[in-house]
Amino acid sequence: MGDILSLVLKRLGYGLITLLVISVIIFFMVELLPGDIAQAVLGQGATEENLAALREQMGLNDPAPVRYFEWLLGAIQGDFGASIISGERVSSVIGERFMNTLFLAAYAAVIAVPFAITLGIIVALLRNTLFDRVANVLTLTSISSPEFFLGYILILYFSVKWGMFPAIASLSQDMTIMELLERTFLPALTLVLVVTAHMMRMTRAAIINLLASPYIEMARLKGTPPWKVIVRHALPNAWAPIINVVALNLAYLITGVVLVEVVFVYPGIGQALVDAVSKRDFPIVQACCLIFAGTFILLNLAADVGAILTNPRLRHPK
């Protein structure tokens, strides 16, 4: 138990160091943008008094390292400053949108994870059959297609031609849960099509790799049914790579939704990031990027911990 705890704490320390480095990159990439930030926000018609007031408001008169540490200290406390455009606190602007993104990611994960693992087991059982070849072609097609392309294809058929689901995922406070699921089905399906392919192929590869093991051959020679060989002998030892790919794809569901949210006009944090970039609202841009980075690092940590717990060899590295 002590070995596992020390490994988890070590991974957590690496994650915090990585997040610190990323926070430096995020902050100073904005600093390196050409031109005057205050001038870019107010436009060419701004007076010197307005420019000076905005620079004072944004703290641009202080040295960059001082502003970075003030921003980092506020971010640790959940305070990312105020929006340049609206004057609202950044946390209140992106808080609800981040919850919308988490809902969309959870919606897609509930569909994709069990479907992908089940499909991966089936194609491993039916290896080199017509079903296996068709599944591989479809998954490769899904992986190779950009998210916005899949989204527009789904809109074309499910919304324009068949009229089954709305093309725009507009949300309101008085919606029922069924209305919410209906309006967010197409963006969730777009994410499902992308991540299912990765998880299915990894599950298939992990199962097929284990089927060549001696203990699997012995189970077959004893006359064990193929499905029991997979479920009782191969699958328990394949959980480590499967958990890894599931955690990484969950990270993608949260951090890679920017294009999907833009295509379906979904009010998530990805759409907020795009709007902030177009308006040059840098506090929101920095906050969104840091949240994306923190989420991705946290889920990578979960993948490492899951692999350690399911694979005893990783608990005692040589």
- DSSP one-letter string for 129-171: SHHHHHHHHHHHHHHHS-HHHHHHHHIIIIIIIS--S-SS---
Nearest to 199 by CA among 159, 252, 160: 252
d(CA 259, CA 239): 31
Torsion angles phi and psi, residue 212, rounded to 5:
-90, 0
Please report, in tens digits, the pLDDT of each residue of the chain (318 residues total): 566 777 778 888 888 898 899 999 988 887 776 666 666 666 666 777 777 777 777 666 777 788 888 888 888 888 888 787 777 888 888 888 888 888 998 999 899 888 988 888 888 878 888 888 888 888 888 888 888 888 889 999 998 888 888 888 888 778 888 888 888 899 999 988 888 888 888 888 877 877 777 877 787 778 778 777 777 777 777 777 777 788 878 888 887 788 888 889 888 888 888 888 887 788 888 888 898 888 888 888 887 777 777 666 666 555
The count of other CB atoms within 10 Å of the CB of residue 211 is 19
What pLDDT sits at residue 166?
Answer: 87
Spans of all domains in the chain: 95-282+296-308
Give residue 1's pLDDT.
56
d(CA 273, CA 284): 7
Domain 95-282+296-308 is classified in which CATH homologous superfamily? MetI-like (1.10.3720.10)
**pLDDT value at position 36?**
63
Q: How many residues does the chain have?
A: 318
Determine the pLDDT at residue 195.
86
pLDDT score recorded for residue 313? 62
Query: Which pLDDT belongs to residue 74?
Result: 86
- What pLDDT sits at residue 210? 77
**Which pLDDT does position 248 carry in this prediction?**
79
